[in-house]
Amino acid sequence: MKKNKAVVWFSCGASSAVAGKLAVDIYGDEVDLVYCDTGGEHESNKQFLLDCQEWYGKEIIILKNEKYEDHFDVVRKTRFVNGPHGARCTTELKQKMREKAQYCESINIYGYTIEETERAKKFEDRNMDLLFDWILIKHKITKPDCLGIIWQQGIKLPIMYELGYDHNNCIGCVKGGKGYWNRIRKDFPDHFNRMAKIEREIGATCLKEVNGDKIYLDKLDP
């Protein structure tokens, strides 16, 4: 794999898509666009990725951890959901793939918007060995700006945005809260039931404990 001066970690989200376009405009041929396919995202992401490729005039490289089918598979096989350092599925399906791609000397570009300035600072503090260009923050671009830019291009957003979700994560993201999971129960009942079953199998839950008691999805107040 070619290792360019900069790399955009494209996620099929509106913000990373706009970050990708800015990066191509600024870095030209010296930027790679890379997507970590988790296997758990909505099918509409595939068309969005192709539309963005056409917009950029540049191919998006796709990485996939072949050990796991999707985030459900990670949770079941590792018997781990969330911890102080984040979700295991994020580590296996994204972080390890980024490390394997060995862009350690490239400038890393993520789709963090101006509202996420503090989040970007914390991420940078945890990864002091990496170089970053917070391209959207630098240009004072907001989340609504990103949605508007995509709309102006005539690119159809992934279904998760149309359904009203703030982010285009895996369907049934283990980092979601009670409200999120109740929406998933309504919009994607098969995904909800699949995660609820896995929780019981491994004895761990997506939702935070209350007074030491685990909140299993199959007992979540609708």
Instruction: Report residue 8: phi and psi, to 5°.
Output: -100, 125
Q: What is residue 1's predicted lDDT score, i.e. its pLDDT?
A: 52
pLDDT of residue 184: 98
Q: Which residues of the chain have pLDDT under 70?
A: 1-3
- Looking at residue 75, what is its pLDDT? 97
Res 4: pLDDT: 78
3-state secondary structure of 86: strand
The pLDDT value recorded for residue 85 is: 76
Say what the pTM is. Answer: 0.91
Confidence at residue 209, expressed as pLDDT on a 0 to 100 scale: 82
The per-residue pLDDT for 135 is: 98
For the chain, the straight-line distance linking the first and the last C-alpha, in angstroms and rounded, comes to 47
Alpha helices for the chain (secondary structure H): 14-27, 44-56, 71-78, 88-90, 96-101, 117-126, 135-138, 143-152, 159-162, 178-187, 189-202
